[in-house]
Chains A and B, each alone.
Chain A
């Protein structure tokens, strides 16, 4: 028995060693693994000309706001991973050239004013089809370490983004010829074409300006350490980040607005479970819950201590996309979809879906019905809402040659356009899992509604990483391996051009070249899209609305309704406003506690 005893002793010793080691280890866990920016010196003297902030008379305890989110931001560089949480923390600490308010109005941040054609900031060369934009920066913005924010930082940021090895793609990057410094606070961006989105390219939710003297260009834009330990020029600066647990932000005394921010400290806590976040909000342990979903918003509506801020304009719209090519193929001409290639079938399906019921029942009435891509300002188009008429839908299907002759409740092809005689009207409706139960419930309801008019759907739920993978990785959308696809999407900012190109243009129908997963190709529509690259807003609106009309006729996709963009918060917190154009921290400097 001796050997067993020794072994047991050994094991116990190992166990204890492990325990001790881990307890010792967790002592270090309190320390942030990320060092604070070494250059940070909160006691730096404000530059001349900036009024020193008058200290408040009463010494009150530092005002803290606690924000709860489900996962860590991967970095402070929002454009790299675009999870939203990165944009959230970027908004707290860094500035872009411009930003967008909840109504869709663009306002300057680092820029002194918005350059337009009228004020001479934009020089259009109509003949060559190019333009030059001259930006003037504010002269009173400083980095956390006291150095001024200058045009050098902008050029540095541009060089880093456009580096072919370590950079990334940003909207409109192909249109930029170069960024040149004129003087410390002026620079010129030259465009190789007319790019309407020039105002928000280097700002809004997408991009911030990075410090040339602090970030290491050798590490590359996508991976540099200053995206994890940022040097702040915004209202707050990062004090501590324990990955997986929390982040602490404190007021930046060098912020260019003298009496902002009002709040002293913002704590971001990582809490993966939505129910726990809601409970924390109700208990007062959290002040802001980001991206609150409809069921929880509905739960909170009667609570006296909690309010929900809803953005005035929605972004995410639930939509069904039809595959006009046969399932598993991508060429709608060579192998048209036996059922869906017929526009009458698509129109019938649209008529048979009771959007109001789904929105009210599953989304608690917080969704607004949407039926065209162009529904947001400033390009809201006047398209008539499609009717909900299941009887008319059934009649349309009959006339399209889809008749249920054998009485089993599912139609078959009898004289239909593309399918063989007798083909049953059975398809697969696919959606993705990460959205949660409301999406899968909507999928089930839609299938039921369509089942009532004789269209049978088999339901599948897949992971987002499979649905949206590249064709090489077996991505379902890219390989066309679906019949009907239900998911939510919407464009950021105010410019729908890129979004429309991605989803509906002819070039985008090529696998891994774009996301026109319907493989819908319409020459008129593509011609119109080309015309949209102009700075004339009236022309743009007109063009967009014509495109919207074509989409409405051809129905390559059905838009259902928008989902809420809301952030629940404690009633003590004032000044907070949700917006589709950014994360809720877009105006964190204005927040105050009652």
Chain B
């Protein structure tokens, strides 16, 4: 488990108390003191809950009702209705499922690819590091957004069993495959620093295998920046997906996603602005919450900058 360091607080008359400055409770405590992060967590939690409860809506996100097209927000339709008379709130919530799923998927894929690569490169160094870093460089040399457009055009049409056309899985895969490099670099930097520390040397002397060292000893200490980056990555993934969908390359209708809801709302911006305001607002709230949470986590994990992030002095 993670080691615990302590600081002693001395107040006259009181017994000396050692408070932990790292370790899970300490991290949580520092996180709690960050008002923005708490608010962000609350908002994101609310959004996730709402999105999960989408099936409870009395409206069908796909069934049209041509008699109530383009209704402004009202009690029956808190977010108004769209071009086919469908309740916008229901579609926004279902769209949230898609967008959040894509976001989580992207982060998951980035982690699954990036963390092992970074860990192995940082731990073994030398030849392994060189090869893995070359691989990372190749991916980093691609103009990301341009290749994203191309990849989504390719994979979207794949008709294999798991990947029906226009599936959430494909878009998540496509974005994820181009976003793991940050994690790889991060983890590598962390491993480079951590593998020289005393506790690792001690564990090695005690006979721990490489695998045990990596997974049980070093990785948990690198978790901090990984979690921070993952939270920020969620926001990034959602923006990428909505950007792709906006251009027509991401999730296609009739499946709603925040991005393609915004894209369809474009032509109605003056006449029926609520069609753009609400999906845009959801994207905004989700990302800003994720950013605040990430910021809070960063401060919580790193009060004294024990582990330096890439790019920092």
Contact = CB atoms under 8 A, between A and B. Distances in A.
Interface of A: 274-275, 295-296, 299, 357, 361-362, 433-434, 436-437, 440-441, 443-445, 448, 459-463, 466, 474, 481
Interface stretch (B6-14, B61-69, B130-138, B183-191): B61-69
A289 to B, nearest CB: 14
A445 B83 CA distance: 11
B64 A448 contact: yes
Interchain residue pairs A-B with the least CB separation, the first 8 = A461-B252, A440-B253, A361-B66, A460-B165, A437-B264, A444-B254, A433-B248, A459-B254
B167 to A, nearest CB: 11
Contact of B64 (A433, A445, A463): A445
B271 A299 contact: yes
Given A361-B66, A361-B69, A474-B157, A433 B252 contact: yes
Nearest to B82: A441
Nearest to A279: B270
19 contacts: A275-B269, A295-B267, A295-B268, A433-B248, A433-B252, A437-B83, A437-B253, A437-B267, A441-B83, A443-B254, A444-B62, A444-B64, A444-B84, A445-B84, A448-B63, A448-B64, A461-B166, A462-B165, A463-B153
Interface in B235-278: 248, 252-254, 264, 266-271
Contacts of B64: 444-445, 448
Contacts of B248: 433-434, 463
A460 B83 contact: no
Given A441-B83, A463-B153, 7 more contacts: A275-B269, A433-B252, A436-B267, A444-B84, A462-B165, A462-B252, A481-B159
Contacts of B153: 463
A481 B158 CA distance: 12
B267 A275 contact: yes
In this complex, the interface size class of chain B, counting residues with CB under 8 Å from chain A, is 20 to 34
A441 B264 CA distance: 10
Interface of B: 62-64, 66, 69, 83-84, 153, 156-157, 159, 165-166, 248, 252-254, 264, 266-271
A196 to B, nearest CB: 40
Nearest to A474: B157
What DSSP secondary structure best describes chain A's contact surface? helix
Contacts of B157: 462, 466, 474
Contacts of A466: 157
A474 to B, nearest CB: 7
A443 B66 CA distance: 14
Given A357-B66, A463-B153, A474-B157, A275 B84 contact: no
Contacts of B268: 295
Contacts of B63: 448
B267 A274 contact: yes
Nearest to B313: A4
Contacts of A463: 153, 248
Contacts of B69: 361
B254 A440 contact: yes
Contacts of A274: 267
A578 B62 CA distance: 37
B253 A444 contact: yes
Contacts of A459: 253-254
Nearest to B265: A437
Contacts of A461: 166, 252-253
B64 to A, nearest CB: 6
Nearest to A444: B254
Listed residue (A299, A357, A443, A461) with the most chain B CB atoms within 10 angstroms of its CB = A461
A434 B166 CA distance: 16
Contacts of B254: 440, 443-444, 459
Contacts of A445: 64, 84
A26 B291 CA distance: 38
Contacts of B269: 275
A287 B266 CA distance: 23
A474 B157 CA distance: 10
B148 to A, nearest CB: 15
A444 B83 CA distance: 11
A405 to B, nearest CB: 24
A236 to B, nearest CB: 32
A591 to B, nearest CB: 28
Nearest to A295: B267
B166 A460 contact: yes
A444 B252 CA distance: 12
Nearest to A430: B165
B269 to A, nearest CB: 6
Nearest to A466: B157
A459 B251 CA distance: 12
A373 to B, nearest CB: 29
Contacts of B62: 444, 448
Nearest to A433: B248
A43 B309 CA distance: 71
